[in-house]
């Protein structure tokens, strides 16, 4: 494990105001150590959907289920799960989320700090990068050219902090949102009698 600031290491008894704060803390810790993360489960009250407990785990936690189509599949995806036990479990006490369990041990090699930012849990398109992507799309640049341009500006694609697929997903989500907004405007105009 790499050396890490003592303040960033989870400890049993640490408390957080909300679940997002706890998850961001877990993400920051994992980025410093060199592994990806995901949310495993959340237990809620049935009456009012109040969260009672949750667990955040290493992205390599668990094992892939066997697929009944397995003999017929030509190209199998690589096995990414190793049943890693690294995790934190949180419970809700006195209006705060408290770490009740912390397991630090990994059963797989950790990423080096230079590549940790490219794990799925740590990739992110910033607001500035999103504006650049929007400008490039409005200018008629193709997605591949947009990614190449941004890679050149950053010095290399490893310096961007996101992949070409993230750009495609961002543009697709933006287009879908615009489409739904346009349809909603049409329906509002129809039902308000402005036809």
Looking at the chain, how many residues does it have? 195
> Per-domain residue ranges for the chain?
1-65+78-110, 123-195
pLDDT of residue 126: 80
Q: What is the pTM of this model?
A: 0.69
Q: Give the pLDDT of residue 1.
A: 43
CA 101 distance to own-chain centroid: 22
Q: What is the pLDDT along the chain (195 residues), one digit of tens a residue?
A: 444 554 678 888 888 988 888 888 988 888 888 888 888 888 888 888 888 888 898 888 887 777 666 666 677 777 778 888 889 999 888 888 999 999 888 888 888 877 777 777 777 888 888 888 888 888 888 888 888 888 888 888 777 778 888 888 888 888 888 887 877 777 777 777 655
> What's 98-137 look like in SS3?
EEEEEECCCCCCCCCCCCHHHCCCCCCCCHHHHHHHHHHH
- The CA-based diameter of the chain, rounded to the nearest angstrom, is 66
Give buried/exposed letters for 78-110 (b at 16+ CB in 10 A, else e).
Answer: eeeeeebebbbbbebeeeebbbeebeeebeeee
Average pLDDT over the chain, rounded to an integer: 81
């Amino acid at each position: 494990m790499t050396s890490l600031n003592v303040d960033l290491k989870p400890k049993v008894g640490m408390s957080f105001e909300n679940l997002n704060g706890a998850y961001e803390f877990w993400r920051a810790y994992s980025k410093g150590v060199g592994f990806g993360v995901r949310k495993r489960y959340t237990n809620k009250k049935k009456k009012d959907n109040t969260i009672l407990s949750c667990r955040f785990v290493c992205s390599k936690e668990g094992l892939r289920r066997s697929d009944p189509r397995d003999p017929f599949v030509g190209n199998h995806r690589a096995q990414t799960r190793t049943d890693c036990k690294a995790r934190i479990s949180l419970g809700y006490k006195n209006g705060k989320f408290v770490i009740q369990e912390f397991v630090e041990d990994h059963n797989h090699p950790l990423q080096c700090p230079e590549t940790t930012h490219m794990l799925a849990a740590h990739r992110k398109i910033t607001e500035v990068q999103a504006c650049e992507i929007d400008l490039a799309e409005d200018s008629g640049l193709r997605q591949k050219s947009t990614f190449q341009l941004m890679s050149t500006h950053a010095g290399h694609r490893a310096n961007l902090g996101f992949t070409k697929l993230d750009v495609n997903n961002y543009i697709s989500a933006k287009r879908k949102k615009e489409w739904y907004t346009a349809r909603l405007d049409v329906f509002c105009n129809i039902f308000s009698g402005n036809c």
